[in-house]
Amino acid sequence: MLQKITESRWIGPALAVLGILLMIFGIYRGEVSVVFTKAINICMECIGIG
Amino acid sequence: MDNKKIKINEWPRHGIQLLWAALTNSHISGFVTGKIYTGKLKNTCVPGLNCYSCPGARGACPIGSLQAVIGSWNFKMAYYVVGFLIFMGALLGRLVCGFLCPFGLIQDLLNKIPFPKKIRTFRGDKLLRKLKYVIFLVFVIILPMFVVDIMGQGAPYFCKLICPAGTLEGGIPLVLLNKSMRSAVGWLYMWKNTILVITIILSIMIYRPFCKYICPLGAFYSVFNKVSVFRYRVDKEKCVHCGKCRNICQMEVDPTENPNSAECIRCGRCKKICPTQAIRCGFADCKK
């Protein structure tokens, strides 16, 4: 069953569409502002200071 | 049939990697002023591991962004970033690792440095490759979601405690360029630099150790290798079972057994070495 799903030529495009739908839902929820705020300020944890 | 000595020209791929790294880190003035880019492009994630605190970075790191949204008190579920990762994974799988990851490029170049005895594999190699899935679950999902401060905010634990890309691309240049940051350097900075040094040394000895054992982004994309639109295919009728593809693979994959293995970064070395052109890849003609 699992092999049948993974071998299907539609599974990749279907997942890509799912990804787009999730992205749209995330944008609708306002998640982009969290990403943006994090990305435009120096992330102290990432650089090993905070 | 010693394929270890056969040279494959990888510079066309490295050219794409370099071009992509330059494009996504094109905020050149940041490397002079010590300030990061704050424009609208930072709303979007880049597909590879590229610290958004790199002075040149134009986009957001998907792993950092994922932890930021999961760790935020009001969201927890990160549909935007997960959707982006699913989209990229479903289209390309780990082709992203092979072509669109600046930290992968750095490891590729480090591995070109001559070393007396390059390590291809070792006892426990296969088991250690599962570690990246544990790191993804624990440091990227569980800790930022559940280990929170009094405001309900979780820290980006992978970035904070492990990520050597953040140290190399963001930590070192920013600390060098900002006097105030130099005075704030402490044990965490030392710890992260130690991880970076170990990663660099291991990258000279082993091909892409960070990608093989640690990278949570590679772990996520690897799940999609079998189902992605871009796939590899081996024509069984053309294959002469010479073993050249298996021997040339630096990720230790046997394309004839599993052309879309979770470990395959789709660098194309197997395709180039195949004497009968039995290995093919692409967006179409990959399912027969």
Is the pLDDT reported for residue B265 higher than 70? yes
**B164 min Cα distance to partner chain A (Å):** 9
Is the pLDDT reported for residue B3 higher than 70? no
List of chain A residues whose C-beta atoms are within 8 Å of the C-beta of residue B89: 15, 19
Is the pLDDT reported for residue B68 higher than 50? yes
Q: Which single residue is written with the structure tokens 């930022």?
A: B144
* Other residues' Cβ atoms within 10 Å of the Cβ of residue B4: 8
Beta bridge partners of B147: none
Q: Which single residue is written with the structure tokens 């360029």?
A: B177
Confirm or reject contact between A1 and chain B (CB < 8 A): no
Rounded distance, CA B70 to CA B143, Å? 10
B228:A12 CB<8 A: yes
Copy the structure tokens of residue B133. 């899935």
What is the number of CB-based contacts under 8 A between chain A and chain B? 166
Kindly report whether the global pTM for this prediction surpasses the value 0.80.
yes
B-contacting residues in A 6-25 (Cβ below 8 Å): 6-7, 9, 11-16, 18-25
Classified by CATH at the fold level, domain B231-288 comes out as Alpha-Beta Plaits (3.30.70)
Nearest to B42 among A25, A36, A42 (CB): A36
Rounded distance, CA B252 to CA B136, Å? 22
Is the pLDDT reported for residue B288 higher than 60? no
Q: Which single residue is written with the structure tokens 């990720």?
A: B251
- Model confidence at A9, in pLDDT bands (50, 70, 90)? confident
| Residue range B82-100, pLDDT digits in tens | 999 999 999 999 999 999 9
Q: Where in chain B is the domain with CATH 3.30.70.20?
A: 231-288
Domains of chain A, by residue range, sit at 2-47
Q: CA dist B208 to B39, B142, B219, Å?
A: 32, 26, 14
Copy the structure tokens of residue B110. 């480090």
Nearest to B159 among A7, A36, A43 (CB): A43
| Residue range B184-217, pLDDT digits in tens | 899 999 999 999 999 999 999 999 999 999 999 9
| Residue range B17-52, pLDDT digits in tens | 999 999 999 999 999 999 999 999 999 999 999 999
